[in-house]
Amino acid sequence: MLFAAIPVCAVAQNRGDYTLRYDQPHQVIRGLGFEIQSDSIASGNAGMPEEVIAVPHDLTPEEKVRFAKEMLHGFRYARLAMGLYLRGLDAEQKHIVERYPGQMADLKQMQDLSGIQGFDVEYWSPAPYWKQNKTYYGGPIAAHDPQFVGQFSDAMVQDLRYLQSHGLHIAQWGLQNEPVVGHLKSSPGAAAGTDKGQSYSTCFYSPEDYYTVLAATAPKVHALFPAVEIHAPSWDGPAGTYAAEIRKDPALLKQIDAWTWHQIGHNSNDQITLREKYLAGAEGKAVYQNEFEYQSWDKNMPVDAYFMNTGQALMNWMTFEDSPVWYWLHAMKPVSNLEATGYALGFWRPDGELKNNIAPAIQPGHWDYNPHSYNAIAGFLKYLPWDSTRLAVDESEVRNDQRILVWRSKNGRLGVALSNRGTTPFQFHLHGIRSAQLSGHRYTLQSRDVSLSSKKVSTDLVITVPPQSFEFWIG
């Protein structure tokens, strides 16, 4: 299917024709990921308090189990923010360890009960010893000569051994989250309003330093974990200066398994209209985004639009960028974080008195869903099995507000996801279906997994999807 040759319809219509192409398999969809806030960060990302406000830590034993088995079941990866949500230090401040008793045990229990494959281990900042300013806040690494880089890369591998020793499975690894960000003036004072810039853990890498450290570390990570996926650069995918440095070195390029973007809160239309931008320079490697949320201070998208845009962003990344993976940001944020509605799949209530509380009905030690985000991806967690193969679909027109995603699971079951972001019902006329019967399930902002009447199929089928909803039809 050549998307560039298909016109994009600017005005929603009430029907479209879609022909499934079993002879055109695309990428294997490995699954979805989330980030876990296993340590404190202040509301508005304004600092990292000493007080422990963390998940699963703050939940009652029963709620920890419910969190892992209900919300997280179906995810494949958990993003672990080294130097931020895991930021304890050894005596020399060379290695990152748990900051409070039980932190690692909580993460292992979450891993085991949820059934995730493992963690995406990525640094927001390396341990302070390795930085010029000797703090988690901003600044570059301390040096870039071969001796320093060799010791630094050994230390990061040791951090992985520490996680492994506590039973955590390592599935993915990244050198630095948003490596361009740490050049901003950044310090603990920023949290108190006395300084401008990032007020949480960051580290700046020039493209040259990023290349130098990655070239030294990636082979060591692969030697310890041969099956681990190494991705880069958690910022501008294959299109920017960081990827350009990597491509200069064929040996390092072979070590990189995927290019990762941050396209926070973007309209899902971008994946259609800007497809060439997102894939430029990929050289056959996977491309996906590993952080998606909505900033409360960005008024370009109202809260009520989050639900449909989130689900369609997921579908569009997989359809137009052939992405094998898609990440939301936080599984949960505390009710005291004012930005939580745009950041989290759910909310939890820490103990004690709270200055802010966006969900007062939640009791201490308990949690609840955020339907604006969770309802948008819940159907994919339940009905899109890991390692399904996406099938091509010939569309009569590519529409911004109606989307189709089709897959075949490893055991051969057909899955069809349909979305309608429009204001009126939309008819999907499906052709070439190789399944005798499909069972339907609907998701809206108000409800999850509403069972629909099964449909018998010959080869063609018409499914009418109500406005502002997602439907999943499973063979």
Confidence of residue 184 (pLDDT cuts 50, 70, 90): low
Check whether 182 has a pLDDT greater than 90: no
Q: Does one domain contain both 238 and 115?
A: yes
CATH number of domain containing 354 = 3.20.20.80
Burial code of 279-316, b = ≥16 C-beta within 10 A, e = fewer? bebbeebbbbbbbbbbebeeeeeeeeebbbbbbbbbbb
The reported pLDDT for the residue numbered 198 is 59
pLDDT higher than 50, residue 5: no
Do 336 and 405 share a structural domain?
no
> What are 275-324's pLDDT values in tens digits?
999 999 999 999 999 999 998 777 789 999 999 999 999 999 999 999 99
Q: Which residue range is the domain that position 146 belongs to?
A: 31-383
Residue 187: closest CA among 236, 125, 243: 125
Which CA distances in Å does 422 have to 140, 399, 403, 417, 444?
Answer: 47, 10, 11, 16, 13
Residues 290 and 219 in one domain: yes
* pLDDT above 70 as % of the chain: 94
Q: Do 280 and 350 reside in the same domain of the chain?
A: yes
pLDDT at 396 over 70: yes
Q: Which of 355, 383, 411 is the last residue of a domain?
A: 383
Give mean pLDDT, residues 219-226.
Answer: 98
Model confidence at 194, pLDDT cuts 50, 70, 90, reads: very low
- pLDDT tens-digit profile of 227-283? 999 999 999 999 999 999 999 999 999 999 999 999 888 999 999 999 999 999 999
End residue of a domain, out of 352, 383, 414: 383
Tokens of 423: 């204001």
pLDDT tier, 193 (very low <50, low <70, confident <90, very high otherwise): very low
Q: Please state, in angstroms and as integers, the Cα–Cα distance from residue 66 to each residue in 63, 333, 344, following that order.
A: 5, 16, 17
CATH of the domain at 393: 2.60.40.1180
- Judgement on whether residues 16 and 154 belong to the same structural domain of the protein: no
Question: What per-residue confidence (pLDDT) applies to 82?
Answer: 98
**Amino acid 187: pLDDT:** 42
Rounded CA-CA distance 425/419 in Å is 11
Q: Is it the case that residue 195 has pLDDT exceeding 70?
A: no
Global pTM reads: 0.94
Q: Tokens 């406005």 appear where? A: 467
What is the rounded average pLDDT of the residues 360-374? 98
Location of structure tokens 């281990």: 121
Side-chain half-sphere exposure of 157, counting CA atoms within 13 A: 18
132 and 96 in one domain? yes
The residue-averaged pLDDT of 401-426 equals 98
Using left for φ > 0, alpha for ψ between -120 and 50, and beta otherwise, residue 167 falls in: left
The answer to whether residues 38 and 108 belong to one domain is: yes
Please determine, for residue 6, whether its predicted confidence score (pLDDT) is greater than 50. Answer: no
Contact 416, 472 (CB under 8 A): yes
246, 341: one domain: yes
One domain, residues 356 and 404: no
My answer on whether 7 and 42 are in the same domain is: no
Give the CA distances from residue 156 to residues 179, 246, 258, in Å, rounded to whole numbers and listed in that order: 16, 19, 20
| Contact assessment for residue 308 and residue 270, using Cβ atoms and an 8 Å cutoff | no
pLDDT, mean over the chain: 93
Residues 14 and 110 in one domain: no
Q: What are phi and psi of 264, to 5 degrees?
A: -70, 120
CA distance 305 to 429: 26
More confident residue, 299 or 201: 201
Q: Are residues 139 and 276 in the same domain?
A: yes
Last residue of a domain, one of 348, 383, 418: 383
- In this structure, are residues 18 and 396 in contact, taking their beta carbons and an 8 Å threshold? yes
User: How many structural domains compose the chain?
Assistant: 2
- pLDDT score at 296: 78
Q: What angle is formed at CA 27 by the lines to CA 388 and CA 263, rounded to 5 degrees? A: 105
